[in-house]
Amino acid sequence: MKTKIVLLGPPGSGKGTQGEMLSQELGFVRLSTGDMLREAARNGAPLGLKAKEYMDRGALVPNDLIINLMKEKIKSLGEGTGVIFDGFPRTVEQANALGEQVNIDLALNLDVEDSELLNRLTKRRSCPKCNAVYHLDYNPPKKKNVCDKCGSELYHRDDDKEETVLNRLKVYRENTKPLIEYYEGKGTLKTVIGVGSIDEIYGEVKKTVL
């Protein structure tokens, strides 16, 4: 079984959704840089406030901030821990830094076209407490605007507004998409078409891991 997994894919491709399902079933740790930065911003931590300036306009947070943050997180993990990296790396510089610390055995790329991504993100609702995600049409919460898992009020992320989503897609194409070739070159890339029901896609995702 693969135990050091990078999730690649554009914003809204389902990295968080699939990564969370995998981590629940396999007992892996999911490290989501987006969730970490949002939490730091909510707590008023200097890193979070600095990161928010970039996140709100859909830009990438500078490499040095992210690389330092992840170095500490990775150091704190036990040797045999299964890890899912969600949203990291996002640049070749970050991928090189990760490669110095961890041997990645699977880079799983979720492939979804832009029109579907826009629909998913503009109708996504997120939980500020447990980071669960919902979709108003495809995956609605049982009670309107309330998280099924922890009962918190759901919110619409600032960077999920259409104009910001379009910028995030541009930033993805310019900075992160080259990582598909990067991991292909290392022989660890697998691509799963990320369109279909969440459970169907999960079935395909699991086959690449086991």
Minimum CB separation from ligand AP5 for residue 138, in Å? 4
CB 30 within 8 Å of CB 23: yes
The answer to whether residue 57 is catalytic is no
Residue 32 exposed, middle or buried by CB count within 10 Å (0-12, 13-18, 19+)? buried
User: CA–CA separation, 62 vs 157, rounded Å?
Assistant: 20
Site string for ligand AP5, 123-162 (x = CB under 6 A): -x--------xxx--xx-------------------x---
Q: Cβ-closest residue to ligand AP5?
A: 34
Minimum CB separation from ligand AP5 for residue 206, in Å? 14
Binding-site member from 5, 8, 12, 30 for ligand AP5 (CB under 6 A): 12
User: CA–CA separation, 4 vs 151, rounded Å?
Assistant: 32
- Strand ranges, E, within 89-188: 106-111, 124-126, 133-135
Measured from the CB atom, the residue of 11 and 82 that comes closer to ligand AP5 is 11
Measured from the CB atom, the residue of 79 and 180 that comes closer to ligand AP5 is 180
Catalytic residue, chosen from 15, 30, 52, 125, is: 15
Site string for ligand AP5, 35-74 (x = CB under 6 A): --x----------------xx--xxxx----x--------
Helices (H), 27-158: 33-42, 46-55, 63-75, 92-101, 114-122
**Other Cβ atoms closer than 10 A to 51:** 24
The answer to whether residue 15 is catalytic is yes
The answer to whether residue 90 is catalytic is yes
User: CA–CA separation, 60 vs 58, rounded Å?
Assistant: 7
Minimum CB separation from ligand AP5 for residue 191, in Å? 14
Closest CA to 130 of 97, 106, 155, 152: 152
Residues that bind ligand AP5 (CB under 6 A): 9, 11-17, 33-34, 37, 54-55, 58-61, 66, 87-88, 90, 94, 120-121, 124, 133-135, 138-139, 159, 168, 196, 198, 201
